[in-house]
Structure 1
Amino acid sequence: MADATHVENENIRRLKDAAAGTAGGMVQVLVGQPFDIIKVRLQTQSTTNPQYTGVADAARKIAANEGPLAFYKGTLAPLLGIGACVSVQFAVFHQVRRNFAMKNAETRGDRSEDLTYGQFYVAGAAAGIANSGIAGPLERVRILLQTQPSSPSRLFNGPLDCVKKIGAEQGTLRGLYRGLVPTILREGQGSGFWFLTYEFLVRHMASSNNTTRDQLPAWRLCLCGASAGAMFWLSSYPLDVIKSKMQGFGGDAKYKGVIDCVRQTYAQGGVGAFWRGIVPTIMRAGPASASTFLTVEMTMRLLG
Structure 2
Amino acid sequence: MHRKDEQEKNYNAIKAYTREGRQTELSATEHLVSAAEAGILTLTITNPIWVTKTRLILQYNSDQTSKQYKGMLDALGKIYRQEGVRGLYRGYVPGLFGTSHGALQFMAYEELKRDYTKYKNMAPEQKLNPLEYITMAALSKIFAVVTTYPYQVVRARLQDQHNTYAGVVDVIRRTWRNEGAPGFYKGMVPNVIRVTPACCITFVVYENVSRLLLGRTK
Class of the TM-score when normalised by the shorter of the 2 chains? 0.7 to 0.9
Residue in 1 that maps onto 2:52: 141
The RMSD of aligned alpha carbons is 2.6
| Match for residue 275 of structure 1 among 182, 185, 193 | 185
Higher relative contact order (CA 8 A, sep 6+): 1
> Cα offset for 1:303?
3.5
- CA gap of 1:149–1:303, structure 2 versus 1, over 3 A, is farther
| Match for residue 223 of structure 1 among 135, 139, 144 | 135
Q: Which amino acid aligns with 2:155?
A: K
Judge which range, 240-249 or 216-225, deviates more.
Answer: 216-225
What count of residue pairs does the alignment treat as equivalent?
Answer: 210
- What are the Cα deviations for residues 179-206 of structure 1, in whole angstroms up to 9, with x where unaligned? 100011111x112211011111222333
Give the structure with the larger helix fraction: 1
Residue in 1 that maps onto 2:79: 166
Q: Which amino acid aligns with 1:180?
A: Y
1:203–1:213 contact (8 Å) kept in structure 2: no
Q: 1:150, 1:202 → 2: CA distance?
A: 48
> Cα offset for 1:95?
4.0
TM-score for both structures, normalised by structure 1: 0.61
Q: 1:157, 1:266 → 2: CA distance?
A: 34
Q: 1:148, 1:170 → 2: CA distance?
A: 17
Name stretches of at least 5 consecutive residues in structure 2 with no aligned partner: none
Q: Which amino acid aligns with 1:181?
A: V
> What is the DSSP-based 3-state SS (H/G/I as helix, E as strand, rest coil) of the residue aligned with 2:150?
helix
> Cα offset for 1:150?
6.5
- Whether 1:196 and 2:107 are equivalent positions in the alignment is yes
Percent identical pairs in the alignment equals 27
Residue in 2 that maps onto 1:155: 68
What pairs up with 1:1-304 in 2 under 5 angstroms? Answer: 80=1, 82=2, 86-87=5-6, 89-101=7-19, 105=22, 111-112=23-24, 114-149=25-60, 155-171=68-84, 173-187=85-99, 189-209=100-120, 210=122, 213=125, 215-251=127-163, 254-304=164-214
Q: 1:264, 1:96 → 2: CA distance?
A: 38
Q: 1:283, 1:240 → 2: CA distance?
A: 16
Structure 1 segments (4+ residues) deviating >6 Å: none
Residue in 2 that maps onto 1:66: none
TM-score for both structures, normalised by structure 2: 0.83
- What are the Cα deviations for residues 154-198 of structure 1, in whole angstroms up to 9, with x where unaligned? 933322222122223212x222111100011111x1122110111
> Cα offset for 1:246?
0.4
Q: 2:138, 2:207 → 1: CA distance?
A: 14
Q: 2:133, 2:75 → 1: CA distance?
A: 37
Q: 2:125, 2:176 → 1: CA distance?
A: 44
Q: 2:29, 2:124 → 1: CA distance?
A: 22
